[in-house]
Amino acid sequence: MKYDVLLKNGRVIDPLTGLDGKYDVGIRHGKIAAVSPSLPAVDADSVIDVEGYIVMPGVIDTHVHVSSEARWIGFSMMASVGVITAVDFGGPIQDTVKGLATNGCGMNIAGLHTVTPGRNTKDADPGVEELSEITDRALAHGAIGLKIVGGHSPATPEATARIIDVANRKGCYVAFHVGSTRHGSDIEGLREAVELAGNNHLHIAHVNSYCRGLHRAPAAEALEAVDLLRSHRNLVSESYLGTINGTSAHIKDGLPTSHVTRNCLRMGGYTPDEKGMGEAILGGWAFIQVVRGGKMELVTGEEGFRIWKDAETKTGVSFPVNDTTSMHILAIAKMKDGDEFVVDAISTDGGAIPRNVQLERGAALVRLGALTWPELVRKLTLNPARMFGFEHKGALAEGFDGDVTVVCPVTGHAYLGISRGQVIMIDGVVVGKGGHLLAATPEGALKAKEAGLTSQAVDLTKSLFFTRT
Ligand SMILES: [Zn+2]
């Protein structure tokens, strides 16, 4: 047979070749084998009629959380909405790999390793040597780079700049949830992040979250973020479209351990301490994250309060803090000349945090006329693949990985997910198993093999992260 799977009669949108029209897509041996106006059904083992649907490269989520065991549920949550590839922004990478092996749903995953000052470094001011060791270890275990969580657990500005520098020297990825011991997770933190990066390459995580109106009107903050990113193209970035955020509800010595959580309590008019947190849950401002029926749910009020207390405050929590205006400005802003987007990708910062809404809300933006389908597809597939150097992903051209998402053009509901030629999701039901690690080093790829996974090397030197100037 010429094709293992043949998708017939869909509207194929491929951001690489610019194709947008009625085509058939043939997949063989895990790769895209042919895209043509008509491929004979007799040439395929399995034929799926996708008339009325959009056929796009497999969705790549550039920022998710599936690393800790409590968050492995996130793999199926992502697969169920058509995500095929994702980059975990948490770690430790060993846990991400373990989760992929047991709960991976057939997805492709790359992982960053979080540097948490005081937890996996000696204090908030780690030196070059300590950071080098952490980086080498992370890469050897399968990570593609580092994540700095300044917003939650800040390092000094000097140490933050050192982390960025060490990663750049070692040729690995580095993403920053902005914030340091000097500035918070807000527009001032973003301004500082641009300075700390200097001429280094840096990924700015979830830009929308710094535009929640802590200093000025959210739209004004979003427009400043757009200006900053337009004038500093050594940065790559993503933003998301979910209303809620995701942070920690953990209280230590009467205070939330995360600085983001403290900000969220203030935004809701609560005191940033244990008492305020309790009141925020009871008052319906804070939503406790709890696993139920195979997915993460959000519970507020007395029930949420009880879950939080029973877990000795060690739960995740979400607040409805993301401003719609700034999310939309960041989703659609373009460079002044040309067709390039200012913020490279639409992400979710989801996975196990229940806001994997990139297709659903992306389709809503298309319905409003804010984006076209080809533009949305570009921000969900080709741009993400380029950011991370996933050379064979993000396009429906011959020879590319057989990763496909089939989606309803009206609702954004994902109908089919295909990962390296295997169907992993049908109409929201996840059927994929195992997973594929995208690692940056041969040692990392070996670790994946030991865990029973297949893997692939990522050439970061070709990534947009390293090549854009
Ligand atoms: Zn995140």
Domain locations along the chain: 58-243+322-383+440-469, 247-321
Give 91 Cα–ligand 1 centroid separation in angstroms: 11
pLDDT of residue 375: 98
Give 122 Cα–ligand 1 centroid separation in angstroms: 23
Give 18 Cα–ligand 1 centroid separation in angstroms: 31
Give 177 Cα–ligand 1 centroid separation in angstroms: 7
Give 351 Cα–ligand 1 centroid separation in angstroms: 9
pLDDT of residue 17: 96
Query: What are the CA-CA distances from residue 10 to residues 21, 47, 56, 380, 413 (Å)?
Result: 8, 12, 9, 18, 15
Number of other CB atoms surrounding residue 31 within 10 Å: 17
Q: Please give the class, per CATH, of domain 58-243+322-383+440-469.
A: alpha beta
Give 132 Cα–ligand 1 centroid separation in angstroms: 23
Which tens digits make up the pLDDT trace of 255-272?
999 999 999 999 999 999
> Using CA of residue 365, residue 367, residue 371, residue 373, what is the dihedral sign?
positive
Give 417 Cα–ligand 1 centroid separation in angstroms: 24
Give 327 Cα–ligand 1 centroid separation in angstroms: 16
Give 348 Cα–ligand 1 centroid separation in angstroms: 8
Angle of the 274-282 helix axis to the 301-310 helix axis, nearest 10: 140
- Phi first, then psi: what are they for 446, rounded to 5°? -65, -40
Task: Show Cβ contacts of residue 22 under 8 Å, excluding neighbours closer than 6 positions.
Answer: 9, 10, 11, 12, 37
Which tens digits make up the pLDDT trace of 6-49?
999 999 999 999 999 999 999 999 999 999 999 999 999 999 99
Per-residue pLDDT, averaged over 132-144, amounts to 96
Per-residue pLDDT, averaged over 140-147, amounts to 96
Give 247 Cα–ligand 1 centroid separation in angstroms: 9
Give 453 Cα–ligand 1 centroid separation in angstroms: 24
Lookup result for tokens 């897509």: 25
pLDDT of residue 469: 76
E strand segments, 200-276:
202-204, 235-240, 247-248, 251-252, 255-256
Q: Is 92's pLDDT higher than 80?
A: yes
Lookup result for tokens 């990534």: 463
DSSP assignment letter at 379: I
Per-residue pLDDT, averaged over 323-327, amounts to 95
1 — pLDDT class (breaks 50, 70, 90) = confident
Give 65 Cα–ligand 1 centroid separation in angstroms: 6
pLDDT of residue 420: 98
Give 176 Cα–ligand 1 centroid separation in angstroms: 10
Q: Is 328's pLDDT higher than 80?
A: yes
Burial of 206 (0-12, 13-18, 19+ CB in 10 A): buried
Q: Is 324's pLDDT higher than 80?
A: yes
Give 89 Cα–ligand 1 centroid separation in angstroms: 6
Per-residue pLDDT, averaged over 65-83, amounts to 95
pLDDT of residue 306: 97
Angle of the 324-332 helix axis to the 218-230 helix axis, nearest 10: 20
Per-residue pLDDT, averaged over 267-286, amounts to 97
Give 350 Cα–ligand 1 centroid separation in angstroms: 7
Give 389 Cα–ligand 1 centroid separation in angstroms: 20
Is there a contact between 239 and 207 (Cβ–Cβ < 8 Å)? yes
Give 353 Cα–ligand 1 centroid separation in angstroms: 9
Per-residue pLDDT, averaged over 240-266, amounts to 95
